[in-house]
Structure 1
């Protein structure tokens, strides 16, 4: 149980790569990027071209504290969630809750 609580606290404290670092990498690689603010969220979208002229879009969402809360990868019109801080924390807590139900 303590292990799960430690995992959740560590996950919620995780900052991830900063938007400034990602923008700097995008500029160095010649990638296109766009920053939009949507209320308390800052969304960084980076468009790049990889091998075989394949276009890839990374969408990074940051909270108002500048912590990465979600990363989505879009390729060939298919979207894949790479990281979702709150969903992962919620999944760990649900598993913990299920363990407690089974024990009692």
Structure 2
């Protein structure tokens, strides 16, 4: 697995942006039953575009919260599963929220004791 790199922002008040691929602890991106605390998550920090097919996306808020949500692009914006349990809401764009997409979940590895 490639290393994760964090680049320093060029403009004041921007967050450092991670790039590359990494394995991260499931506790950093809990999402209903899809990602649990004991899981390992393979994530790409280069893919940040929400697609029509949907997927699990790593998010960060302006106040430092980090998590994961299932999202998909729909005709009137972006549909977001707010709690990881099917409570969907549609926003016109990510700019309408306090969240920003920092990466995409590629694979979730679950310990065998849960299977």
Structures share a fold, TM > 0.5? no
Q: TM-score range by the shorter chain?
A: under 0.3
Tell me the TM-score normalised to structure 2 length: 0.23
Whose helix proportion is higher, 1 or 2? 1
Whose strand proportion is higher, 1 or 2? 2
Q: Radius of gyration: which is bigger?
A: 1
Tell me the TM-score normalised to structure 1 length: 0.24
